[in-house]
Amino acid sequence: MDTPPLRPIRPAHRLRVLDDGQLADLRAATLTILDEVGVHCPSPEIRARYAAHGARVDAETGIVRLSPDLVLAAMARAPRGYTMGARSAAHDAVLDGTAMYTATDGCGVTMIDPATRRRRPSVAADVGDMARVADALPAVGFYWPMLSAGDHRATAPLHELLASYANTVKHVQTETVMGAPMARWAVEMARVVAGDEATMRARPMLSALICTIAPLAQDAEGMEGAMVLARAGVPVGFMSMATTGSTAPATIAGTLALGDAEIVAALALVQLEVPGAPVFHSLMTGVMDPRSGGYLATSRDGALAYTAGIEIAHHWGVPVLAGVYGTDAPAPGWQSAAEAAVALTVGALLGAETGSGMGLLDGCTVCYPEQLVLDADLHERVRANLAALDTSPEAIALDVIRRVGPRAHFLYEPHTRDGMRRLEFSALTGQVAADGSARDAVDVARAEVDRILATHHPDPLDPAQSRELERIVAAADADLGAATAAAGGRS
């Protein structure tokens, strides 16, 4: 079945939330942190690469310090834009600064079963089902495997990729592939999907997000995996989730500077190792609840902290993955819409190239399938609101207004018939039940999920590609599963 064309947000307007002086101050702070405080790098292999490029490495503490000159020179090599390829070229996400593509959220661990409506641990089939839902929604620009393939233990990330590629033609971004061995298997899969090396480089169909560890630390497996992916041409982004008050200073500016330093330390090494490699920057801060110590993705001023990271990324000259949908709501409802709307609007106005977070609730852990449809509706609202207003003579319709005149109506006009067809109404609100009452939007979204799961089957992988991907995953199961078993645990 055809996958509808993507409908990214193409804002006709732009906003600035930080002025040039503030951006300069934040960059200076980042450079100072990297030069004087440094980041902790637990991987000897990665430390060696840092040292080879001129960073100051303290082997005893594992701290790596980078001079401002080294950082600036490295970051200058990063491309400002590139293409995140899709199985169907028509669904490529072209990061050229004109559009914002939004993705699903990822790596949830609990699924609300669409059939039973009961909570259960997520499995690989859920990743595939939600990929089909995402494939059917024009608002979803690319796909994060939404859930953890909990039925596949050590190689879950590869099974998540397999389920994703089999069920959507859109670009897939992994946020769970970690470590060099896993990354090598993922690269093999990406090469199979791309078909040839030239396509893999020009339109990579896989990208990866690696998280840093606040404050100012890297994950050994994350960094080792990132280098494998970057060398293969897979776009790699780094996300800091610095949390105001616990893993970051209790001020937004301090949190931004610290998180930026974590991201830039990693991005700089990618550029030093693979000059010109496609990368992205993602500063998705949180705030600690001072009463409980809990992590909050959102607060009243959360949109400001979320969106400031977009301008910081652009100041470095790299594309951004903006946090735009994160919600702490436990279930679909008022809160899930309230928390997402402002950040998405401001993010788009700031020119974010990509954003993620659609479809998960409860701090990005629980998947209510209908939430993806609800979030897609929010995307459409923001898209429509930020588009340019058509003020052409046809749109102003003076001849029609003149013909109708005062105190009449426009119902009979051909212009009305044409115009009404072009107007965009929500498919979720204003829906009328058989008894004439208004249907609840969440119920409508749930029915839409059922409809998609029953009827939408995107263009399948070529059978040869499919067999090859399955062979790769089976080999990885044997390799990494055995390795994990030998190590006496699960990853």
Structural tokens at position 277 = 């490699």
Say how far residue 421 (Cα) sits from the centre of its chain. 33
Residues 340-399 that bind other proteins (CB under 8 A): 340-343, 345-346, 349, 374, 377-378, 380-382, 384-385, 387, 389-392, 394-398
Closer to other proteins at the Cβ: 1 or 438?
438
Residue 248 carries which DSSP code?
Answer: B
Under the criterion CB under 8 A, does residue 240 sit at the interface with other proteins?
Answer: no
Under the criterion CB under 8 A, does residue 118 sit at the interface with other proteins?
Answer: no
CB of 429 to other proteins, least distance (A): 5
Under the criterion CB under 8 A, does residue 33 sit at the interface with other proteins?
Answer: yes
Under the criterion CB under 8 A, does residue 482 sit at the interface with other proteins?
Answer: no
Under the criterion CB under 8 A, does residue 202 sit at the interface with other proteins?
Answer: no
Residues 256-275 that bind other proteins (CB under 8 A): 257-258
CB of 127 to other proteins, least distance (A): 25
User: d(Cα 208, Cα 280) in Å, to the nearest integer?
Assistant: 9
CB of 15 to other proteins, least distance (A): 5
Under the criterion CB under 8 A, does residue 411 sit at the interface with other proteins?
Answer: yes
Residues in the chain: 491
Under the criterion CB under 8 A, does residue 138 sit at the interface with other proteins?
Answer: no
CB of 464 to other proteins, least distance (A): 41
User: d(Cα 395, Cα 385) in Å, to the nearest integer?
Assistant: 17
Q: What share of the chain is helix, strand, coil (3-state, %, to 5)?
A: 45, 15, 35
On the CB side of 390, how many CA atoms lie within 13 Å of its CA?
10
Count of beta carbons in the 10 Å neighbourhood of residue 475: 14
Between strands 295-296 and 286-288, the pairing is antiparallel
Beta strands in 125-213 (DSSP E): 140-143, 171-174, 206-211
User: d(Cα 471, Cα 34) in Å, to the nearest integer?
Assistant: 43
| Size of site (CB under 8 A) for other proteins | 120
By CB under 8 A, name the one of 180, 252, 453, 475 that touches other proteins.
252
Closer to other proteins at the Cβ: 208 or 346?
346
Query: What residues contact 212, with CB distance under 8 A and at least 6 apart?
Result: 39, 218, 219, 222, 238, 239, 240, 241, 259, 262, 263, 265, 266
Q: Element (H or E) spanning 64, and its range?
A: strand 63-65
By CB under 8 A, name the one of 94, 337, 447, 453 that touches other proteins.
337
Under the criterion CB under 8 A, does residue 220 sit at the interface with other proteins?
Answer: no
CB of 35 to other proteins, least distance (A): 11
- Tell me the one-letter amino acid at 128: G
Residues 414-473 that bind other proteins (CB under 8 A): 415-426, 428-430, 432, 438, 440-442
Under the criterion CB under 8 A, does residue 338 sit at the interface with other proteins?
Answer: yes
Closer to other proteins at the Cβ: 96 or 418?
418
Residues 44-73 that bind other proteins (CB under 8 A): 63
CB of 185 within 8 A of CB of 474? no
Q: Element (H or E) spanning 383, and its range?
A: helix 369-386
The one segment of 35-43, 113-121, 152-160, 268-276 that binds other proteins by CB under 8 A: 35-43
Under the criterion CB under 8 A, does residue 168 sit at the interface with other proteins?
Answer: no
Instruction: List the one residue out of 176, 179, 158, 98 whose CA is nearest residue 386.
Output: 98
